[in-house]
Amino acid sequence: MYKRILLKLSGESLMGESKYGIDENRIGEYASQIDEIAKLGVQVGIVIGGGNIFRGLKGSERGFDRVKGDQMGMLATVINSLALQSALESIGAKCKVLTAIRMEPIAEFYSKHRAVEALNEGNIVIFSGGTGCPYFTTDTGSALRGIEIEADVMFKGTRVDGIYDSDPEKNPNAQKFDTITYDEIYRKGLKVMDLTATAMCKENRLSIVVFNMDKIGNLKKVILGENIGTKVTL
């Protein structure tokens, strides 16, 4: 079993059946699954996207300055992180939110030392605010935090059950990969994560497992090594 993981969650998934914002049932389900694996002794770091509230790149397409749009997106991730922290604490889990930009007293400022210390103290640690810099996605933020805290693996929880050769939500004949290499992702042009995040994971030998987080119980299954989702390796 893994000692320490980085879990990347999609902001859009927090919407549940809604078209915007945070669905209380969905975030409650996520909190229960995360608490379940933490109780197994796994140290859990988390990065959440902000697309359910605001996505910087789409904002720039509508006329927002790209830097301002990305900063708005960073704030959206903080909102989601605080919501997940609240859901976790409501079921008795210990949880810390660390931000990439200073926001005391909302949350503590991120440093590797503080993150690892909090993990070793038994906290679930949520990394918010992306990298703190514009032009970087939360995928890149996930790769960066996973590498910094020396996670054993990055789990990317999505709405689909792995990586396919085309979008399974649009193509019913899409073929799923059980395993795939980083080089194959490049060659096939698959949009697993952005290229910066993918390159960082490859260069630092951080494996990725892509799985369906919306199916209750899947997080524990992938932690225990069950063959669901898709594993990205060297």
% of the chain with per-residue pLDDT over 90: 87
Would you call 140 exposed, middle or buried from its count of C-beta atoms within 10 A (0-12, 13-18, 19+)?
A: buried
Whether residue 47 has pLDDT greater than 70: yes
Q: Sorting pLDDT into bands at 50, 70 and 90, what band is 58?
A: low
Q: Phi and psi of 134, rounded to 5°? A: -70, 165
- Give me the pLDDT at residue 60, please: 65
Would you call 98 exposed, middle or buried from its count of C-beta atoms within 10 A (0-12, 13-18, 19+)?
A: buried
Rg (CA), the chain: 17
Residues 200-208 have a mean pLDDT of 97
Give the tokens for residue 41. 């002794």
Taking alpha carbons only, the member of 176, 168, 234 closest to residue 205 is: 234
What distance in Å separates the CA atoms of residue 13 and residue 23, rounded to the nearest whole number?
9
Give the tokens for residue 36. 């379940």
Length of the chain: 234
Whole-model pTM? 0.95
Q: Are 130 and 139 in contact (CB under 8 A)?
A: no
Q: Sorting pLDDT into bands at 50, 70 and 90, what band is 202?
A: very high
Q: How far is CA 128 from its chain centroid?
A: 10
Q: Are 222 and 157 in contact (CB under 8 A)?
A: no
Whether residue 64 has pLDDT greater than 80: no
201, HSE (Cβ side, Cα atoms, 13 Å)? 33
What distance in Å separates the CA atoms of residue 184 and residue 187, rounded to the nearest whole number?
5
Q: Which domains does the chain have, with CATH numbers?
A: 4-233 (3.40.1160.10)
% of the chain with per-residue pLDDT over 70: 98
Give me the residue label for tokens 């042009």.
Answer: 189
Whether residue 61 has pLDDT greater than 90: no
Q: Sorting pLDDT into bands at 50, 70 and 90, what band is 56?
A: low
Helix axes 24-38, 66-90, angle to 10 degrees: 70
